[in-house]
Chains A and B, each alone.
Chain A
Amino acid sequence: MPMEMMDEDPTALLPEIFLAVAAVLGLLLGSYLPRHRQWLVALLAAVACAGGIAATMLAGPTRTVFGGSYIIDVATNAGRLIVLISLVVALFLSIDEFRGHPRESEYYVLTLLGALGTVILTGANDLMLLMAGYLLASIPLYAVAGFAKDDPGTESALKYYLLGALLGVIMLGGVTVLFGAGGATAYPDLRSALSSASPAVVAIGLVAVLAGLLFKSGAVPVHFWVPDVTEGSRPPAAAFLTTIPKIGALIAIYRLVSQGLPETGIDWPLVIAVIAAASMTVGNLAAFFQDNVRRLLAYSTISQVGYLLMAVAVATRSDLALPGLVFYLGAYALTNLGAFAVVCALPSAGNVTDYQGLIKTRPWLAASLVICLLGLVGTPPTAVFVGKLTVFTAALDGGFTWLVVLAAVNTVTSLFYYLRWIVPAVRPSPAPAATQVRWAAVGAYIAAVSALVLGPLSDVVLRGLWLVGRGA
């Protein structure tokens, strides 16, 4: 296959370039700035995100660049926007925690690199680039997980790293198998070549590649790192790790199954549907009696991946799959970050009972918590509700009635554990004055308000995404 030389257009990759440049500059700045001025690196990261968002808005028409390895389309642009906006919110969560930390600037550089890897996962249109994205979205984040260098952090980083390395190797094996079976790594070529390959080989390769991506999204059966990392690493790091990488991983799975696989052959929708079902159920059941709020949120994110995978399962069967996936992803990212922001804002509160009487001491923080947790359940009119509604509709449309019924039952059961957290927070009991940190609280307000208003405004958002995606 002759390499097309006409599509090497660096301006198409401006958002990615901004992130990379900010990471490099941040590292240099961090070496020269005095410790009390290191926060400038966070500002730099925010500026890079703003630039990336602006560049995404002007992304131009759908096209592939750099030899067809990277695709700029609705999914990529949506992924870019969600990652960049989430990163800005995540910065708010981190400011108080790492202010004056000896390695403050390094934290921001690592998150910038992790976000860059995530964005590359969303746009990868080639197995090799997918693998590169996976590594870039993994390696900096191992360091993020263990950033505090304390015992729980080190343990969680080690677990995250070992599992990540193992699944990275498996994924690389899968890439090799698919390459061997199809003779290509670019999705369009793979798609046509694999239709004549042995389904068993394709299935093995696919499952191996999926394993890595499912690890990044924290789905069952490779979810074991999620609760430990979420509890062990610092809260802002946990917020980042449970939210941002899965944006890229899920869009990558969507793209792989819908654009890299032949239409006939293996029944991948069923595979994804079963993983979705397992993920939402296991996550929910495990969350039931968690008293530690971070563990609770960790299991809740596992179940949310299950709902998100429903959209992936019907990627080729319903027109609503892509809108459902990207809107749910965006809604989930904001709402989940909002819940984590409340956790970050109250560093001394670790258990649900520590939130006793929050409504009295910090009414607005309590309100944000209620909005975000009920939002995660999918209560209307929050953004996750619209996401869930669209995803449920897409899944029913695609013929997965059993999956939708299971998801509905899971949604009801999830209410139970979210309420275990909400109830003490709104109970009017004498509470010890909770210490609150400022920027994380601001992050919580921003996330809660956006989670609330994006629901009713979902149409504007989705139409905007499609306009951007088509390059209009």
Chain B
Amino acid sequence: MLSAVVFLPVAVAVVLLAVPRTSDRLVRWLWIAATAIDLALVVGLWIGYSPGPGGFAYEVNVKWIPSISSGYHLGVDGLSLPLVALTAVLFLACAVYSFRDSDRLRSYAALFLFLQTVCLGLFVALDLILFFVFFDLSIVGMYFVIAGWGHRNAAKAALKFFLYTFLGSLALLLGFIGLYLAATPHTFDIVELARQAPLTGTGFAGAAVLIALGIGFAIKTPTVPFHTWLPPAHTEAPAAGSAILAGVLLKMGTYGFVRIMMPVLPDTWRRYAIVFVFVGVVSVIYGALVSLAQRDFKRMIAYTSVNHMGYILLAVGAAGIVASSTAQAREIAVTGAVTQMVSHGLITGALFLLSGVLYQRGQTYEMDSYGGLAGTAPRFAGLTALAAFASLGLPGFSGFIAEFQIFTGSLGSAPVSTVVAFLGILVTAALFLRAFQKIFLGPYRAPTDRVGDITVVEGVAIVPLIAAAVVIGIFPRFLLEVIEPASRIVVTLVGR
């Protein structure tokens, strides 16, 4: 079942490429149909979700490369299921959003379907090699999206993205090999490694693997100081590519922290947790301040991603400071971190698609070129306002639920850092309000004659994302009930 969900998109992609001379119309509908069916399957997974004794549901474990004890091991738990759902939703939104595109549509659709398989596969992989395969392929896929369909300086930005994140993935690979060699018997299986925690009490070796994995995931997340690839990549990528990059690919980094680093390196994580808290807080404040200084709307959103990912690092770091907090608080922090991943995916996905709408109208992201768009494009203004409010963490949206939990869970163990990070919200609020005012309020100004409102297609793509953020903001139980048991397991594993 899981394999079907993972490989359905790529199968459709192969069909798309193999059948010669498909019309763009057919490609569009096939793409949407494939992503919609995949989402329906994921909904089915969610409805039938009942984790087994190990915490995982729909587990598949087949031998793959036994000579190095690497298996085709898939499974979902409360950490991965929400991200799988997020992935399916965002890819459907991108398929719908690209309905009017015609630039080499067949390859574009195939590339996105390929990326979808890769992203879903990463979140359900329970084997380090399998995880790495998907991790690396996500970079390759996104590289071609940016280089092939990006804006003017795309080639350079794509190269930077590829080299930088590839460096991270190789650091990751070294860390994985280190874990493999430390385990007895040698294995790449994440569940087995979490059970063994092979580097417990080793001091240097544990720290070395922690550094390798930490750099790998920190680059992907990205956190300060490894974030410099992100703004150019986002600025140059096509809107749908940015939505996937920010919405799904960044989550691979943060997911790695909770799925691999915390359970497998518990004592090392506890020892160096304060580093992650610190990096998180710096990312929060730095991301927010740099974002405030941007004139480019899309670049601004890109930097808010650094800010939002910082909250996740703060939470997972705080969850490792065992001495001064209760298990319950740490659980709340981890739950908050996972909720933040979902929330950020939905909201930033929507914001990037909206920035694509803006670019499509005016061929620029410069905020100074626009003004008073609310007059001619009221629905566009309304949606952007909702997405902006959601992003700055207003109650009633998913961001609030996530950040509230993160702060509550982290306050006990890292009070100063939490208070400092709290200031980040103020800056984000300021920057979103300022951007909104500049673009939508005041006297009308636009680089082209008339900026039209959101079209039906754009609406169908973007509204559900914001609606989902509202639903999670108002009725979070259905999500939290899935996440909480998994957070409990993670916290117990870290507390060993």
Contacts and interface: CB of A to CB of B under 8 A. Distances in A.
Contact of B148 (A381, A389, A397, A426): A426
Contacts of B288: none
B362 interface: no
A423 B157 CA distance: 13
- Tier of interface size on chain B: 20 to 34
A385 B177 CA distance: 13
B181 A396 contact: yes
A379 B137 contact: yes
Given A381-B133, A396-B177, A426-B144, A459 B171 contact: no
Contacts of B129: 380, 389
B159 A416 contact: yes
Interface string B133-156: 100110010001001100000010
A288 B378 CA distance: 52
Interface in A387-415: 389-390, 392-393, 396-397, 404-405, 408-409, 411-412, 415
A449 interface: no
A415 B139 CA distance: 12
Contacts of B181: 393, 396-397
Contact of B166 (A390, A397, A415, A459): A415
A428 B148 contact: yes
B162 interface: yes
A428 B173 CA distance: 33
Contacts, number: 77
A428 B132 contact: no
Contact of B67 (A374, A396, A459): A459
A459 B66 contact: yes
A426 B129 CA distance: 28
Nearest to A380: B133
B438 to A, nearest CB: 35
Nearest to B178: A396
A462 B67 contact: yes
B496 interface: no
Given A415-B162, A416-B159, A419-B159, A459 B174 contact: no
A408 B171 contact: yes
Contacts of B147: 423, 426-427
B155 A423 contact: yes
Which of the listed residues A320, A381, A462 has the most CB atoms from chain B within 10 Å of its own CB?
A: A381
Interface in A342-360: 359
A37 interface: no
A404 B174 contact: yes
A423 B155 CA distance: 8
A149 interface: no
A404 B166 CA distance: 16
A416 B158 CA distance: 11
Nearest to B165: A412
Contacts of A404: 174, 177
B383 interface: no
B475 interface: no
A365 to B, nearest CB: 14
A380 B159 CA distance: 19
B177 A412 contact: no
Contacts of A458: 65
B180 interface: yes
A408 B174 contact: yes
B67 A379 contact: no
A408 B129 CA distance: 16
B170 A463 contact: no
A393 B137 contact: no
| Contact-size category for A | 20 to 34
A386 B65 contact: yes
Interface in A454-471: 456, 458-459, 462-463
B62 to A, nearest CB: 11
B21 interface: no
A392 B147 CA distance: 30
Interface in A428-468: 428, 456, 458-459, 462-463
B166 A412 contact: yes
B15 to A, nearest CB: 16
Contacts of A380: 129, 132-133, 136-137
Given A392-B173, A408-B170, A426-B148, A459 B104 contact: no
B122 to A, nearest CB: 12
B26 interface: no
Contacts of B66: 459
Contacts of A392: 173-174, 177
Nearest to B170: A408
A408 B173 contact: yes
Given A379-B137, A396-B177, A408-B173, A463 B167 contact: no
Contacts of B177: 389, 392-393, 396, 404
Interface centre among A392, A393, A463 (most CB of B within 10 A): A393
A426 B147 CA distance: 9
Which residue, of B136, B137, B166, has the highest number of chain A Cβ atoms within 10 A?
Answer: B166
A323 interface: yes
B64 interface: yes
A390 B181 CA distance: 12
B68 A320 contact: yes
Contacts of A408: 170-171, 173-174
A428 B162 contact: no
A21 B220 CA distance: 57
Interface string B383-417: 00000000000000000000000000000000000
A374 B141 CA distance: 12
Contacts of A359: 107
B123 to A, nearest CB: 17
A419 B180 CA distance: 31
B474 interface: no
Interface in B87-116: 104, 107
Nearest to A364: B17
A210 to B, nearest CB: 27
A405 B208 CA distance: 12
Among B64, B67, B167, chain A packs the most CB atoms within 10 A around the CB of B67
Nearest to B155: A423
6 contacts: A389-B177, A390-B67, A412-B166, A427-B147, A458-B65, A459-B65
Interface of A: 320, 323, 359, 374, 379-381, 385-386, 389-390, 392-393, 396-397, 404-405, 408-409, 411-412, 415-416, 419, 423, 426-428, 456, 458-459, 462-463
Nearest 6 interchain pairs by C-beta? A380-B133, A408-B170, A459-B65, A412-B167, A393-B177, A380-B136
Given A380-B137, A408-B170, 6 more contacts: A389-B173, A392-B177, A396-B174, A409-B170, A415-B163, A426-B147
